[in-house]
Structure 1
Amino acid sequence: MEVMRTIMDFEFDTAKVQSMHFHQNPEILYVLDGKAEVQIETEKYELEKGDFLFVNVNKRHSLFETEKELLFARFRINFSMLSDYLGTNQILFWCNTTADKNEAYDHLGRILDRILNRFYDKEKEGALYLNSIYYEALYVLTSYFMVKSDDIRLKDKGGPDNSRVFEIQNYVQANYQKQISLNDLAKKLYLSNAYLSKYIKKRFGLSFVEYVNNIRLFHAVDELLYGEKKITRIALDNGFSTTASFNKTFKDVYHMTPSAYRTSVRQETQGDEKEEQSRAEIEQRVKDYLAGNNFVPDETATKNLGVVTVDAEKTVPLKKSWCEIINVGKIEALLDCDIQRQVLMMKEEIGFKYVRIWNIFVQEMYEERDGDWHYNFSRIDRGLDFLVENGLKPYIELSFKPIHVSYSINSTLAEKDNHIIFHERDSYEKVMNDLASHLVNRYGMDEIETWYFELWKDDRLNMLDENGWYFDCFEIGYLALKRVSEKIKAGGAGFALGYDRYQYHDLIRNWKKRRIKPDFISVYSYSYLLIQQNGMYFGKRSLDSNFVKNQLDIFKEVLREEDFLPEELHITEWNFTISNRNCINDSCAQGAYVMKSCINSVGNVDKMGFWHGCDLNSEYYDTEAVLYGDNGLLTRDGIKKPSFYAFHFLHFLQDQMLGKTENALISTNGRGIYTIVCHNCKQFNYRYTMKEEKDIRVDDLYELYEDLDTIHLKFRIQNVKNGEYIMRVFYVNPENGSVQDIWREMDYMKNLSKGEVDYIRRGAMPKVGMRKIKVEDGELWVETQMKAHEIKVMEIYYQY
């Protein structure tokens, strides 16, 4: 196996079996025809045609054909060159189409196809162009699939010193071909030689020299078995100073010389080699593949997105799951007059039906005396009275959620655990039965039968144990509510999409073993992924703008596999971030993200609950400014953000859907009214993950996206009534209606006067336009330009 001369290279292969091995360079395995099982360390993955996965450095892997006529491509990456470019040896990728969904996979797949189409252009001028595509592929890999050194280490999963082990492994992998010493590594890690020597011995069970030689031997064995190099060349290329030192080290481990080992293994596998296709046959398979493969053009896609054609006589009911639930906070929040005003505003202008509240049980309202338990429900009553009196429905989370003001998923500005006040079954059973009776007596059976009750899988309830306290708590609450009425709906458990991915099957299987099943299943969706590599867990921010849809699809597939399909599926919390101090929350980009996610949700989920309604929930010592990056739809002063207007525009949609695309949804009432909502949501680039969320500045936002291009949308609605129509257009973009951009013009001043706040409030309103449209041939044409991060609604009315 020759040393790579470029940063990347590739070849086609038809091997039916590749035994467990690993390389000095990472690689991508891409199945082009047939099927294969790939095992990486202890994990196995079934790859079908079109699937690909990334095999990291130092990861033992094997492959065998599971469907005849396997053809796959292997893309090798020069680790040394890549680490030089990135300035780090701590390089780890998570890229696996069989275990994840992300729109970036489609992007990378198209690039890999372009590389394959250049198979016969590897020399001279063609090699220069091919090299440019290699760098494009690596840019996508590092932007969307790299687990960076500052991504979260889950210490309870893999131990507190995962980072150091990871750094040692990568350093040796990057430098084993050179003459390296313990002293070199100790200097890099700012440790003494003696301490590092003991540390390596303890963690790896080998001395430093033994560990390095072990790595060298693994790679040398690869070349012995799969290459034609002479023994001397293999020794020098893999870091051994002389052939003699290579022979001695090899013999200590394999009890024979490298030459004898090569001969013996090849004799053993000679029969298998006879079964392999000849080079000529592989060449023919490649020619057949390329001849039948549609050529992927190299030009970037035009920003003119083409015409969207729909038929006014072909509709389907539109279920607006996005406006079902809004998260407000702990029940005491509903006693605040400012929050009450904001909740009513959201009901009126957005159409939310359910208000999700939690932490209804607090210690000061609970009395335990002589084995008897009593709860005072008066505070709960005042909050629920407000909702019921104003035609809103409670969505009650029954567990004890912690109170956080979060910088990011792994750091907080303020944190307060909420202690569970029920410590035995009898006390919880008594209070839940009292609550159920109290609610039906106060609000009536018909009313509470429309409510929802949820129990989140707080880690303290240990849902990973089939006999965990979670299941007891759920069943106690479920039975207490069903005792009052079978129509009351109780569910859970707030599975974190993407983050609980390695536990989905275990959690669902545990629930299946219980006698009581939920009426609905709830999930949370924030754009963070948990990645497992060789026993180590990493959390990273996802750049997938379709995160909600893609991760929901993965979770729903698990439910189907486990035959645990609920009557309803709810996303009770969703946002791209959990941070209360991320200025993107206040931006037009957030409005476009909200609209995109809501359009994607159509037909995929029954109810969604945006996180959250009001910035008032995270007021703290640092919130004296008009905006402070909280993820509410309304500012502390009740000013509407672009995210509010995204929901407001969606509320204009009619009840019948004509069609939807990546950027738009078209609806009608069937009686001459047509409504189109559209957005120009942009994709984050790698720079977003390079910054701590709290450190992002408003003036930096435009650097965080792949492009800021305007798009041109065209719509054609067929079979409409001829005549004159009026079109009203409402839109928000950075130049019109954005509270954040208005505040920028005021130099981000803090401690504004009431008049200045009112000025911002008046400015933070959508731009409005109107025009006439004449229809003569039964076709209604609408065109519009959308700036980056813009959201828009177009209402079209027939004029009688």
Structure 2
Amino acid sequence: MREIMEFSFALNSDRETHVHQEVEILYLLRGTAQILINEESYMLKKGDYILVNANKRHSIKNLEVTTLFARFVIDYSMMTEYLGTNQLLFWCNTVSDKDEAYHSLRLIFDRILTLYFEDEQEEQFRLRSLFYEVIYLLVSHFMIKTDDIRVQKLGFTNDTRVFEIQNYIQANYQKQLSLNELAKKLYLTPAYLSKYIRKQFGLSFMDYLNNVRLFHALDELLYTDKKVTRIAIDNGFPATASFNKAFKDCFELTPSEYRRKYSGKSAPKEGRTGSLSEMEIKDIKKFLEKTREAPEVSHGKQTELFTVHGDKWEPLKRTWSQVINIGEAALLLRSDVQEHIKILKEELGFSQVRIWNIVSLIIYQNAQGYLNYNKLDRIIDFLTENGISPFIELGFKPKIVIKAADEFLINQESEILFHSLGEYEHVLGELAAHMVNRYGLETVETWYFELWHDNRLKIESEDGWYFPIFDAGYSVLKRISKKIKVGGAGIVLGYESHLYEEVFSIWKKRAIWPDFLSVYSYGYVMIPQEGILYGKKSLDSQYTLNQLDVLKQTLYQLGFDVRQVFVSEWSFTISNRNVLNDSCWKAAYLLKSCIDAEGKIDLLACWHGTDLISEHYDTEAVLNGDSGLLTKEGICKPAFYAFRFLSRMQPHLLGRNSHAMVTANGRGNYGIVCHNYKKLTYQYATKEEDKLELEQMESYYEDNLSLRLQFRIDGAEDGQYLVKSHYINQNNGSVQDLWKEMGYQKSLSGEEMMYMKQLGNPHMEMQRVTVKGGVLELEAVLMPHEIRLLEIKYQY
């Protein structure tokens, strides 16, 4: 029976550079090894694994004499049949990347290896199911479809020609191909193309072509009754003799001998273990002992118990409740934007708003050195009068409204108003002095200033303008006060990881370092493959934390030690037209992310406060898929209530887990926030954000299971407690689901809008609980995507 995946063990086996059609995963069980894929080198330690794509030159060098690999080989042709494309790439590499799916894959690999040594009759069925779980995770989290993915070229010598060659041969291997024919198609000389193919693939043109033909012929040899002559002709060999010779050179058997030996047989166990001794098999079993205690990969829990002790606590840091993004400073001149900011301050507790393009508001006349701050003063006056501090981006950010990751409704660059470094220093110095004189030094010292890396400033170049401009702004502000905080550079996590080493190697050599490093997080990764960057959406629910770890590891290796890292723009999507932004799922995502980030991230600034930031010709409906917490009419979305619930937490953190956080005030009151977040699926990842359909939303989530949460607080005072339960779900308080009941009508009357405002609120229930023996026990059953706040007050 044809299997989509097979595995074997490889002991102490160096491999010279070679190429094969299969997708191969090398999982290091013992020792250390170096894997070279094309020109990239990766050092694997015990427990690491790496995927080698089809047709990629690679070699293995064992750095210890006792190395042991588990080798998983995936049938590429079956994959292409299932997925309907032969343009497949994967990026799966625990050495260079971090994603929660790596842990899930490792558990499955370990389970496969464990089952192998168990003599159960049902072993083969379970193994096959695990093989398909591996494929599902690879496709969902690590696949790049090269025929439709967004591509950005790097400045390397390799280019898309490699893929053109592979794709052309894959599409035409059954025909009589020649080097001259392919060279003509690529507008190259045969001599140049011959050298190019040998350099890129490590094989001659004919050897590579025969390798592809043999890969397809092998399936027919094993799994069909075709005659050898027919198999040879159908797969492009001009004659049976040439097929026999190529086959024997590769497999050391003729096609007929190979068929007799292997047809209809699965690989025997001794074939998988190779020359492993009993001692080595014992070592493998010892390595896998941990998997017996590890849980099976689960696709949904229905019941979860969470126990905390009332006397064991630490301060709740609330780094997610400090800053909210608003947008261009000029927006704050509008009364509707000001009203939304007041709501965000009063009801959610945000104490700072992040704004940019403030210099564009200054009326500046260079010739006379004249500066007029009237517009900017009105904005800062409004903020300070309402107890809000500005978080000021000093650069010139573009005005953008984004449909999908590479599609813009608006994309307007902001003009850089200064023509020299001296001019910039002068204006910024005058502005800083004006702000201190107007608002007081102690007030300005509580503000934050940031400079993002505008592409026009070329941060990746030592000769670029970013670092001189940053140094100038930093120095001007520090002359006012050393306490003023200045940071940069707005590096996008995951998506700009290819810049990390280059940028921070340059910055490390400079005299001025930022007070805080600012980064953006939008749930996308950029994957380098042979000189090309492929962008894709990430399904990692721990994306921000994992990508921060990757960044911090690079900083550590470079010795670039910054005290704080601020995520100054944070969302799961860059799109202003993504229906999930209006959903209960977004609320659960925000609540989960804030719980996960508590104590691990210095600052987490939500992108963004209001849908007014992205008004355009297509925003006549009440909901348009923007990232704001408030609709343009001021209706609170489910995401708004995620921060409302968090703002009601008590000051002492008793504990948190994957679904909940428990807090207390030390005087008999407790607060619990919890959620039933669902991971996104492959169906979500493969759709452009603006093409997501409201009626198809259930297909974007991993399951539709409810979640039963049981809470136990030990050390509670005996007596009566009043428990108020506030919750938002698809049946209660979700403005998106209310709109669904109205048939998604675009034009709503004032009365209908008021109806949505009134019903778009959390549902509330109350109960009394009696505590005896110092144990407070509660239970909550959450619908999919539901968020819930439990306020527990001792009754005297």
Output the TM-score relative to the length of structure 2. Answer: 0.89
Query: Which secondary structure does the structure 2 equivalent of 1:518 belong to?
Result: coil
Deviates more, 1:5-14 or 1:312-321: 5-14
Q: Is the 8 A contact 1:574 1:609 kept in 2?
A: yes
Deviates more, 1:208-217 or 1:507-516: 208-217
User: What is the aligned partner in structure 2 of residue 597 from structure 1?
Assistant: 593
| 2:742 maps to 1:746 | yes
User: What is the aligned partner in structure 2 of residue 253 from structure 1?
Assistant: none
The CA deviation at 1:198 is: 2.9
How many pairs does the alignment contain? Answer: 760
Residue 20 of structure 1, aligned match among 12, 17, 20: 17
C-alpha separation in 2, matches of 1:25 and 1:167 = 19
The CA deviation at 1:628 is: 0.4
Q: Is the 8 A contact 2:485 2:515 kept in 1?
A: yes
Deviates more, 1:742-751 or 1:57-66: 57-66
Deviates more, 1:302-311 or 1:515-524: 302-311
Question: What pairs up with 1:316-465 in 2 under 5 angstroms?
Answer: 316-362=314-360, 365-369=363-367, 373-465=369-461
For residues 302 and 248 of structure 1, do their structure 2 counterparts lie closer, same or farther at Cα, with a shift above 3 Å needed?
closer
For residues 501 and 366 of structure 1, do their structure 2 counterparts lie closer, same or farther at Cα, with a shift above 3 Å needed?
same
Residue 128 of structure 2, aligned match among 131, 139, 159: 131
The CA deviation at 1:143 is: 1.2
Q: Is the 8 A contact 2:669 2:793 kept in 1?
A: yes
For residues 359 and 725 of structure 1, do their structure 2 counterparts lie closer, same or farther at Cα, with a shift above 3 Å needed?
same
For residues 160 and 349 of structure 1, do their structure 2 counterparts lie closer, same or farther at Cα, with a shift above 3 Å needed?
farther
| 2:53 maps to 1:64 | no
C-alpha separation in 2, matches of 1:353 and 1:311 = 31
Deviates more, 1:294-303 or 1:127-136: 294-303
Deviates more, 1:510-519 or 1:234-243: 234-243
C-alpha separation in 1, matches of 2:415 and 2:341 = 28
Output the TM-score relative to the length of structure 1. Answer: 0.89
The CA deviation at 1:165 is: 5.1
User: What is the aligned partner in structure 2 of residue 99 from structure 1?
Assistant: 96
The CA deviation at 1:205 is: 5.2
C-alpha separation in 2, matches of 1:702 and 1:160 = 44
The CA deviation at 1:774 is: 0.5
C-alpha separation in 2, matches of 1:637 and 1:447 = 32
Question: What pairs up with 1:778-789 in 2 under 5 angstroms?
Answer: 778-789=774-785
Residue 516 of structure 1, aligned match among 504, 512, 516: 512
Q: Is the 8 A contact 2:449 2:487 kept in 1?
A: yes
User: What is the aligned partner in structure 1 of residue 619 from structure 2?
Assistant: 623
Q: Is the 8 A contact 1:121 1:127 kept in 2?
A: no
Query: Which secondary structure does the structure 2 equivalent of 1:440 belong to?
Result: helix
Equivalent AA in structure 1 for residue 42 of structure 2: Y
| 2:150 maps to 1:153 | yes
Deviates more, 1:610-619 or 1:355-364: 355-364
Residue 723 of structure 2, aligned match among 727, 736, 740: 727
Q: Is the 8 A contact 1:519 1:568 kept in 2?
A: yes
Deviates more, 1:396-405 or 1:377-386: 377-386
Equivalent AA in structure 2 for residue 594 of structure 1: L
Q: Is the 8 A contact 1:374 1:431 kept in 2?
A: no
Q: Is the 8 A contact 1:324 1:607 kept in 2?
A: yes
User: What is the aligned partner in structure 2 of residue 490 from structure 1?
Assistant: 486
User: What is the aligned partner in structure 2 of residue 109 from structure 1?
Assistant: 106
Residue 280 of structure 2, aligned match among 285, 289, 301: 285
Equivalent AA in structure 2 for residue 425 of structure 1: L
For residues 607 and 203 of structure 1, do their structure 2 counterparts lie closer, same or farther at Cα, with a shift above 3 Å needed?
farther
User: What is the aligned partner in structure 2 of residue 266 from structure 1?
Assistant: none
The CA deviation at 1:583 is: 0.7
User: What is the aligned partner in structure 2 of residue 225 from structure 1?
Assistant: none
Residue 208 of structure 2, aligned match among 180, 192, 215: 215
Query: Which secondary structure does the structure 2 equivalent of 1:503 belong to?
Result: helix
Deviates more, 1:142-151 or 1:114-123: 114-123
User: What is the aligned partner in structure 2 of residue 190 from structure 1?
Assistant: none
Q: Is the 8 A contact 2:310 2:716 kept in 1?
A: yes
Query: Which secondary structure does the structure 1 equivalent of 2:3 belong to?
Result: coil
Q: Is the 8 A contact 1:324 1:352 kept in 2?
A: yes
C-alpha separation in 2, matches of 1:749 and 1:147 = 37
User: What is the aligned partner in structure 2 of residue 693 from structure 1?
Assistant: 689
For residues 345 and 204 of structure 1, do their structure 2 counterparts lie closer, same or farther at Cα, with a shift above 3 Å needed?
farther
Deviation digits for residues 173-211 of structure 1 (CA, Å, limit 9, x no counterpart): 5775x446489x99xxxxxx9973536969945799997
For residues 194 and 61 of structure 1, do their structure 2 counterparts lie closer, same or farther at Cα, with a shift above 3 Å needed?
closer
The CA deviation at 1:66 is: 2.7
The CA deviation at 1:720 is: 1.2
Q: Is the 8 A contact 1:38 1:44 kept in 2?
A: yes
For residues 234 and 282 of structure 1, do their structure 2 counterparts lie closer, same or farther at Cα, with a shift above 3 Å needed?
farther
Deviation digits for residues 536-569 of structure 1 (CA, Å, limit 9, x no counterpart): 1100000111111111121122222222222222
User: What is the aligned partner in structure 2 of residue 37 from structure 1?
Assistant: 34
The CA deviation at 1:298 is: 5.8
For residues 208 and 507 of structure 1, do their structure 2 counterparts lie closer, same or farther at Cα, with a shift above 3 Å needed?
closer
Question: What pairs up with 1:108-257 in 2 under 5 angstroms?
Answer: 108-120=105-117, 126-149=123-146, 152-157=149-154, 166=163, 168-170=165-167, 172-173=169-170, 176=173, 178-179=174-175, 181=177, 196=185, 198=187, 204=193, 212-216=205-209, 240-242=237-239, 245=242
The CA deviation at 1:156 is: 4.1
Q: Is the 8 A contact 1:673 1:798 kept in 2?
A: yes
User: What is the aligned partner in structure 2 of residue 90 from structure 1?
Assistant: 87
Query: Which secondary structure does the structure 2 equivalent of 1:749 belong to?
Result: coil
For residues 298 and 433 of structure 1, do their structure 2 counterparts lie closer, same or farther at Cα, with a shift above 3 Å needed?
closer
Equivalent AA in structure 2 for residue 215 of structure 1: Y
Deviation digits for residues 668-702 of structure 1 (CA, Å, limit 9, x no counterpart): 11111111101111001100022111011111111
C-alpha separation in 2, matches of 1:600 and 1:699 = 30
User: What is the aligned partner in structure 1 of residue 751 from structure 2?
Assistant: 755
The CA deviation at 1:130 is: 2.2
Deviation digits for residues 259-282 of structure 1 (CA, Å, limit 9, x no counterpart): 9x99xxxxxxxxxxxxxx994434
The CA deviation at 1:363 is: 8.0
Query: Which secondary structure does the structure 1 equivalent of 2:618 belong to?
Result: coil
Equivalent AA in structure 2 for residue 196 of structure 1: K
C-alpha separation in 1, matches of 2:744 and 2:524 = 30
Query: Which secondary structure does the structure 2 equivalent of 1:721 belong to?
Result: coil
C-alpha separation in 1, matches of 2:577 and 2:213 = 51
Equivalent AA in structure 1 for residue 138 of structure 2: L
Residue 474 of structure 2, aligned match among 461, 478, 482: 478
C-alpha separation in 1, matches of 2:748 and 2:614 = 19
The CA deviation at 1:241 is: 3.6
Structure 2: runs of 5 or more not aligned: 216-221, 223-228, 254-271
Equivalent AA in structure 1 for residue 541 of structure 2: S
C-alpha separation in 2, matches of 1:28 and 1:115 = 13
Query: Which secondary structure does the structure 2 equivalent of 1:672 belong to?
Result: coil
The CA deviation at 1:104 is: 1.3
Query: Which secondary structure does the structure 2 equivalent of 1:598 belong to?
Result: helix
Deviates more, 1:167-176 or 1:420-429: 167-176
C-alpha separation in 2, matches of 1:647 and 1:605 = 17
Q: Is the 8 A contact 1:220 1:234 kept in 2?
A: no
Query: Which secondary structure does the structure 2 equivalent of 1:504 belong to?
Result: helix
Q: Is the 8 A contact 2:330 2:361 kept in 1?
A: no
User: What is the aligned partner in structure 1 of residue 6 from structure 2?
Assistant: 9
Q: Is the 8 A contact 1:687 1:703 kept in 2?
A: yes
Residue 796 of structure 1, aligned match among 786, 792, 796: 792
C-alpha separation in 1, matches of 2:208 and 2:121 = 35
For residues 297 and 674 of structure 1, do their structure 2 counterparts lie closer, same or farther at Cα, with a shift above 3 Å needed?
closer
Query: Which secondary structure does the structure 2 equivalent of 1:321 belong to?
Result: coil
Query: Which secondary structure does the structure 1 equivalent of 2:643 belong to?
Result: helix
Report sequence identity in percent.
46
C-alpha separation in 1, matches of 2:204 and 2:742 = 60
